[in-house]
Structure 1
């Protein structure tokens, strides 16, 4: 589906379903609001789907994989060839996210958005990796839009397969560098506020990374009011695909979990393209990358988990799924005050 058509399909949350969910929570025989953000998440999901009978029995993690030309600048600890290796390992179940998906009962779908070499991963590539953004635009505008629309299409695939919630993940050596550039521009903040050590950089590597982000922004001067321009000039194919995926999930009324810094940066781009898409996102955890809190503040999200994770792949989002399901279990199965014939709690001023 086209980007403009998707944005036009994104509707506000169903307030009646949310109110029904809140009333259900308040009727359960426990102190009011005592499951905190878990209660809020269930109510929000009711609003997303338009049904207070919330179901999360079919879960998926969609992992967007792509290579980034900026690796040439020495901004990573490992080489670009690692992207393809890890992407293939998703298929064999030999990644952190794959192990966690098995434990969480979630289906894992890696997609090749632009890995340098062909792999056995389902192929949706727009191009074989981006250009080095320090020297040229990462991709053309047309390629950026194609990547966004690919993400939209993949959200539709999950919806048609009957999934009730989607988690977001990514794999691409160098993508904390592109994410820092995109987030710096979209939030109009200094790169120093966004650039972190990623998967483990030395102080020298961190400085190279910071300079690469600064040079790319100075060279291309992307317009913060044009998220597509930001993504195609200093972003990545994984980020563009993820941004489209968030928009597609919102259009399909499919709840979607934000993972860490990279996933959140894509969510930021999606929200800039369509502010209404924010309502369909849930923040799973707060990555320890320095820009994460700023992005969540802009998105008006509060992460539930604070475990200082920074692995990527969707691991934080998948880790949140069992916690969310525990809250939903209470919501669906616990007795109400009237059923056990005791006086209900009252809201106190």
Structure 2
């Protein structure tokens, strides 16, 4: 049995400061650009002020991309366009700067951190700082077996909590959360379907590399079979992650919850992050107030999860690559909202004596016109 008490997060997580948000809204009403004229940027600036507990809002100066990595046994069934066990190649591309997220992160000046939770390779195949939290090699085939033991699920969850603490202690002021996985969208879809009470076909997407119809059918069948295994453990979120999740998903769930405890805002990337957020909402209902959805990935399970949490994606550019790229695309919007909220000048208040002078001048001019 697990010694981890998830109920503690309900007590530890507070909502972003409502009083500060009202102060931010009041300040926004005094600024030279009319309220509402900046659209959703107004809402983002006020949300960030509440998360920071500061008016005017502080700029986002130390963001970081955090990517949890793992291989999933379900990929053996051909549910992914990539071969099973090949996530280490994706990790290596990120570390060497050749991936899409690496390119954009360089352009934006944002560091990228990769955390190996369950890659199907020898630990020494990657740098030591990547593998310090690894729980196991690969996750189990969830259509017929558990992804993890309950002890492994707890270890992965605690690793995610530890990474969140490390980032908060290092001064990270906003996180873009994503995953690097092969087969990861399948357990994500299972979690969403289980928690939303929907059928497998409703949540089965085609992944980052757009699988063909036959692979989609295999994926849908795998999700259906895993759903049968998930439903009996819906009341125990850690057991759910052990049964049909994976080490990377368990770690991301712990990470998200601890970021909310530490009051660190998070931009969610794709369907895997959204599924973990949905599990996190079941554990602590206030936690989603600390999260934004970076983009719409086109995965039906992501749309279902975000709708359930009432979180609207910031951008929709049809990006399906994963690995934090879509979430990182939204970061400049958040930074722009912070700058506008903090730096737009307020309308100067007119002094009473100036107002009287203006009224006298208007009266004299009016009298002159009548003459």
TM over 0.5: same fold? Answer: yes
Find the aligned partners of 1:223 and 1:192 in 2 and give their Cα distance. 21
Residues 339 and 58 (structure 1), Cα distance of their counterparts in 2 relative to 1, 3 Å cut: farther
Give 3-state SS (helix, strand or coil) of 1:291's partner.
helix
Find the aligned partners of 1:296 and 1:274 in 2 and give their Cα distance. 16
| Alignment match, 1:267 | 277
| Alignment match, 2:360 | none
Q: CA deviation at 1:224?
A: 2.5
1:187 to 173, 191, 196: 196
Q: Give the number of the structure whose alpha-carbon radius of gyration is greater.
A: 2
RMSD: 1.9
Q: CA deviation at 1:270?
A: 0.8
2:68 to 64, 71, 89: 64
| Alignment match, 1:51 | 54
2:15 to 5, 9, 12: 12
Kindly provide the CA deviation profile for residues 121-155 of structure 1, in whole angstroms up to 9, marking residues without a partner as x.
24311111111112211111221122111111111
1:37 aligns with 2:46: no
| Alignment match, 1:134 | 143
Asked whether the equivalents of residues 230 and 240 of structure 2 are also in contact (C-alpha less than 8 Å), the reply is no
1:297 aligns with 2:307: yes
Asked whether the equivalents of residues 154 and 238 of structure 2 are also in contact (C-alpha less than 8 Å), the reply is yes
Q: CA deviation at 1:221?
A: 3.6
1:306 to 309, 316, 320: 316
Asked whether the equivalents of residues 7 and 251 of structure 1 are also in contact (C-alpha less than 8 Å), the reply is no
Range with bigger deviation, 114-123 or 221-230: 221-230
| Alignment match, 2:247 | 237
Find the aligned partners of 1:6 and 1:215 in 2 and give their Cα distance. 31
- TM-score, length of structure 1 as denominator length: 0.93
| Alignment match, 1:114 | 118
Give 3-state SS (helix, strand or coil) of 2:116's partner.
strand
**1:197-236 paired onto structure 2 within 5 Å:** 197-199=206-208, 200-219=210-229, 221-236=231-246
Q: CA deviation at 1:3?
A: 5.3
Q: Which runs of 5+ in 1 are unaligned?
A: 342-349
Find the aligned partners of 1:215 and 1:294 in 2 and give their Cα distance. 20
**1:247-258 paired onto structure 2 within 5 Å:** 247-258=257-268
Asked whether the equivalents of residues 35 and 42 of structure 2 are also in contact (C-alpha less than 8 Å), the reply is no
1:160 to 166, 169, 174: 169
Asked whether the equivalents of residues 80 and 211 of structure 2 are also in contact (C-alpha less than 8 Å), the reply is yes
Give 3-state SS (helix, strand or coil) of 1:106's partner.
coil
1:21 aligns with 2:10: no
Find the aligned partners of 2:211 and 2:303 in 1 and give their Cα distance. 21
Q: CA deviation at 1:340?
A: 10
Find the aligned partners of 2:157 and 2:52 in 1 and give their Cα distance. 23
Residues 221 and 24 (structure 1), Cα distance of their counterparts in 2 relative to 1, 3 Å cut: same
1:96 aligns with 2:105: no
- TM-score, length of structure 2 as denominator length: 0.88
Give 3-state SS (helix, strand or coil) of 1:204's partner.
helix
Q: CA deviation at 1:45?
A: 1.9
Asked whether the equivalents of residues 86 and 120 of structure 2 are also in contact (C-alpha less than 8 Å), the reply is no
Q: CA deviation at 1:291?
A: 2.1
| Alignment match, 2:179 | 170
Q: CA deviation at 1:52?
A: 2.3
Give 3-state SS (helix, strand or coil) of 2:307's partner.
helix
| Alignment match, 1:346 | none
2:297 to 282, 287, 295: 287
Find the aligned partners of 1:288 and 1:246 in 2 and give their Cα distance. 22
Q: CA deviation at 1:43?
A: 1.4
Find the aligned partners of 1:111 and 1:128 in 2 and give their Cα distance. 13
Residues 3 and 129 (structure 1), Cα distance of their counterparts in 2 relative to 1, 3 Å cut: farther
Asked whether the equivalents of residues 186 and 227 of structure 1 are also in contact (C-alpha less than 8 Å), the reply is no
